Amino acid sequence: MIEIQNLTKTYAGKVQALRDINMTIGAGMFGLVGPNGAGKTTLMRIIAGLLRPSGGIVHVFGHDMQTADGKHAAKSVLGYLPQELGLYPNLTGREFLDYIAILKGVTDSQQRRQQIENLLETTRLDDVADRRLKTYSGGMKRRIGIAQAMLGDPKLLIVDEPTVGLDPEERVRIRNLLSDMASHCTVILSTHIIEDISHSCNDLAIINKGQVFFRGKPGDMIGLTQGKVWNIVTSGERPNNGLIVVSTLQVQDGVQYRVLGTPDEAYHATAITPSLEDSYIWLMHEAQQDQPVNTAKPVSA
């Protein structure tokens, strides 16, 4: 369990990256979703104990991240995959994992070998384990990154935008891999791709400009746009009157628009079932009006 209370972070140069974040993250897969610059990496690095907050409290499995002891204890139970993992290009996959395992304090060589073989198998890198990292594809690099984060058998796995720049097949593979991990440890996954979470997360937060705009289950998020998503067909003119156009499709009798909002009767709109993406777009729109829809309540310690 991760508890975050009144967390703020202001970088030197006065960028306010996090503004009063309050939330509790439980077991399973947690999605942290938001556009570039929202504060995702900042929040993850603070949870991982790699960055000091400007204010507020973070507890990771009961360990207070403000104290050196707490940080030390938490670090031994967490694995982290940064957005940009520096790899050693001339090491092979297996050598790299061995090296990281030693750094993580897995000193028993038998135990180390066992863990590495298991992880190479789960990440499906056993075939390329003896190839140098510089020959790995983007997806393989991301998978070895997940493998190194899982060394030492962490209870918390933090992965920062693991699907960026991957082809759809690799993205699916990474998502499945993380879902498997989430069955026996807490996984916090950040992404700006809504598809990444729609399939795998049971819990999520939408963050924008350092604030949490939604906190809950994907189903609850979809519920927010119930009755607000419509199809409109026109001869070509774009619907306006405060409607948000989500997509446009050429159809036989004109142009079909998927819109969010409350269309005028004159449009003869047809109600449709909202998707998670509709809800995300709606929330981001609300965020731009600076009206949090469902901010988390402070957590009692």
Ligand X SMILES: Nc1ncnc2c1ncn2[C@@H]1O[C@H](COP(=O)(O)OP(=O)(O)O)[C@@H](O)[C@H]1O
* Site residues (vs ligand X, CB under 6 A): 11, 13, 15, 17, 34, 36-42
Alpha carbon 292 to its chain centroid, in Å, reads 20
Write the single-letter amino acid at 33: V
Smallest gap from Cβ 265 to Mg ion, in A, equals 44
* Structure token pair of residue 234: 């026109």
CA atoms of 21 and 206, how far apart (whole Å): 11
What angle do helix axes 93-103 and 109-122 make, rounded to 10 degrees? 130
| Measured distance between the N- and C-terminal CA atoms of the chain, rounded to whole angstroms | 12
Closest separation in Å from C-beta 161 to Mg ion:
6
Residue 38 interacting partner from Mg ion, ligand X, none (CB closer than 5 to 8 Å by kind): ligand X
Q: Which is nearer to Mg ion, 40 or 228 (CB)?
A: 40
Element containing residue 156 per DSSP (H, E): strand 156-160
Smallest separation, CB 159 to ligand X (Å):
12
Q: Please say which residue, 48 or 259, places its beta carbon nearer to Mg ion.
A: 48
Least distance from ligand X to the Cβ atom of residue 217, Å: 22
Nearer to Mg ion, 85 or 244 (CB): 85
42 binds, among Mg ion, ligand X, none (CB under 5 to 8 A by kind): ligand X
Q: Are 2 and 25 in contact (CB under 8 A)?
A: yes
Q: Least distance (Å) from ligand X to the CB of residue 79?
A: 19
Residues contributing to the site for Mg ion (CB under 5 A): 40-41
Question: Who's near 195: CB < 8 A, 6+ residues apart?
Answer: 171, 277
Which of Mg ion, ligand X, none has residue 271 at its interface (CB below 5 to 8 Å by kind)? none
